[in-house]
Amino acid sequence: MLTKTTARPGPQGQAIIARDSAIMTGALTPRYPFVIERGSGSRVWDVDGNEYVDFAAGIAVTSTGHCHPKVVQAITEQAQKFIHIAGTDYYYDVQVRLAEKLAEIAPFDEPAKVFLTNSGTEAVEGAIKVARWYTERKHIIAFYGAFHGRTLGALSLTASKVIQRDGFFPLLPGVHHVPYNNPYRCMHGRREEDCREHCICADYIEDVLFKRVVPADSVAAIIFEPIQGEGGYLVPDKRFVQQLRQICDAHGILLIADEIQTGIGRTGKWWAVEHHGVQPDIVCSAKGLASGMPLGAVIARSRVMSWPPGAHGSTFGGNPISCAAALATLELVESGYMQNAAEQGQYIKDALEEMKTVHPALKHGRVDGLGLMVGAELVLDEKRTPAKDLRNRVERIALENGLLILGCGENTLRFCPALMIERETVQQGLELFDLSLSQAEREAGLL
């Protein structure tokens, strides 16, 4: 049983939310009424003393759980030595050690070079720049449904929700969006079995884009998420990803894997591209990299990241405390949590498949994922009508029941807890999900 002292949210939480609404920008997507007091592992407590199971992990960020003692120790020890010196001007060992480790685990058989950033978006910006610099080409191909960030360069690649782009045009010129492999909802309107047999999304790049829109030899890079995250936790067919690699090889285009949400062990391997058997040229990392300390990385083949001194920089990028947290994180992920992510993720997927027999909204829905990146798409009927309102209600009811769970895509719920989550907490979270979904289905007249 979870500790429950007041309604969720309680009076103290409500007071903070009211003050927040009065002073903070209204630009953020509507938030969930949860005000954290503290966290430990995969559990969090609000300011009114209520306990929750955390299936959200701060949007797949707190990879080692909240406040892992080893991460806290690394942060504390580094903070007692020095907090900042500017890696753009001076050197420090903890940054070098982290870059060496990232180069060691990079998903390509070539030496790597590393650029450290503060965020995922900044890593994407770095990737765009290095790709343009190396290829001396201007165009970039990205995918419908993609989320790569919110600054103007990264936003130009993002094609997730129009509200994210509306009001900010013109964006970066030379960005071309194409369909992403999704047999469950093929953008070309093909049947699921045909799409699984042979997806034509990658063909579209050769057959349409390169013939009608932009010459292949003007394209610097194809950027893709190895599992589309904000787009709905979509796992593409590995043949689609392999075809992207072939297109890149045929035309001297760089393949950029945005592993910001998928990377650092979340899928049971260091990088999700490893599941697809593909080696990218550039990898963007962030989110789980430093267990919640702000840090991102652009990891590229050494010959690609050969830009000259002064070409790029970042005052806070590679902050020493973030680097120390990242080193502790990578050690923990390597020595067990990555394996745990694979096991607990499979357990969640199996449990959701089983729930299809009792939940009408799951029955014809899509349950998909790798490791602890599992999505469950809620639908209203056999025709797969997206159950968007129902999904939103489940999130809200789950919160009231003591479960933090986030949506993604139009009608998907994502299960992305910390990689250290124990089986007992997984089960408790799934029970709360089951209960919350039943409540929402009853309200909607589906049960």
Ligand X SMILES: Cc1ncc(COP(=O)(O)O)c(C=O)c1O
How many positions of this chain bind ligand X (CB under 6 A)? Answer: 15
Q: Closest CB to ligand X among 258 and 441?
A: 258
Sign of CA dihedral 396, 397, 399, 403: negative
Give me the least distance between CB of 184 and ligand X, in Å please: 20
Residue of 75, 260, 378, 408 interacting with ligand X (CB under 6 A): 260
Cβ burial, residue 151 (10 Å; 0-12/13-18/19+)? middle
With contacts defined by CB under 6 A, name the span among 46-54, 71-79, 224-232, 359-367 that binds ligand X.
Answer: 224-232
Q: Closest CB to ligand X among 46 and 225?
A: 225
Examine residue 298 and tell whether it contacts ligand X (CB under 6 A): no
Instruction: Tell me the residue nearest to ligand X as measured from the CB.
Output: 120
Q: Closest CB to ligand X among 165 and 251?
A: 165
- Do 302 and 111 meet the contact criterion of CB atoms below 8 Å apart? yes
Residue of 54, 225, 395, 441 interacting with ligand X (CB under 6 A): 225
Q: Closest CB to ligand X among 237 and 258?
A: 258
Residue of 95, 160, 243, 261 interacting with ligand X (CB under 6 A): 261
Q: In the 3-class helix/strand/coil scheme, how is the chain assigned residue by residue?
A: CCCCCCCCCCHHHHHHHHHHHHHCCCCCCCCCCCCEEEEEECEEEECCCCEEEECCHHHHCCCCCECCHHHHHHHHHHHHHCCCCCCCCCCCHHHHHHHHHHHHHCCCCCCEEEEEECCHHHHHHHHHHHHHHHHCCCEEEEECCCCCCCCHHHHHHCCCCHHHCCCCCCCCCCEEEECCCCHHHCCCCCCHHHHHHCCCHHHHHHHHHHHHHCCHHHEEEEEECCCECCCCCECCCHHHHHHHHHHHHHHCCEEEEECCCCCCCCCCCCCCHHHHCCCCCEEEECHHHHECECCEEEEEECCCCCCCCCCCCCCCCCCHHHHHHHHHHHHHHHHHHHHHHHHHHHHHHHHHHHHCCCCHHHHCCEEEEECCEEEEECECCCCCCECHHHHHHHHHHHHHHCEECEEECCCEEEECCCCCCCHHHHHHHHHHHHHHHHHHHHHCCCC
Site string for ligand X, 170-209 (x = CB under 6 A): ----------------------------------------
With contacts defined by CB under 6 A, name the span among 113-121, 167-175, 299-307, 369-377 that binds ligand X.
Answer: 113-121
Give me the least distance between CB of 230 and ligand X, in Å please: 6
Residue of 64, 78, 119, 135 interacting with ligand X (CB under 6 A): 119
Give me the least distance between CB of 122 and ligand X, in Å please: 7
**Interface positions, 388-427, toward ligand X (CB under 6 A):** none
Residue of 258, 281, 368, 395 interacting with ligand X (CB under 6 A): 258
Site string for ligand X, 139-168 (x = CB under 6 A): --------xxx-------------------
Q: Closest CB to ligand X among 119 and 411?
A: 119
Q: Closest CB to ligand X among 60 and 398?
A: 60
Q: Closest CB to ligand X among 269 and 359?
A: 269
Structure tokens at 260: 């910001």
Give me the least distance between CB of 331 and ligand X, in Å please: 22
Give me the least distance between CB of 120 and ligand X, in Å please: 2
With contacts defined by CB under 6 A, name the span among 167-175, 235-243, 256-264, 397-405 that binds ligand X.
Answer: 256-264
Residue of 42, 50, 64, 121 interacting with ligand X (CB under 6 A): 121
Interface residues with ligand X (CB under 6 A) are: 59, 119-121, 124, 147-149, 225, 229-230, 258, 260-261, 286
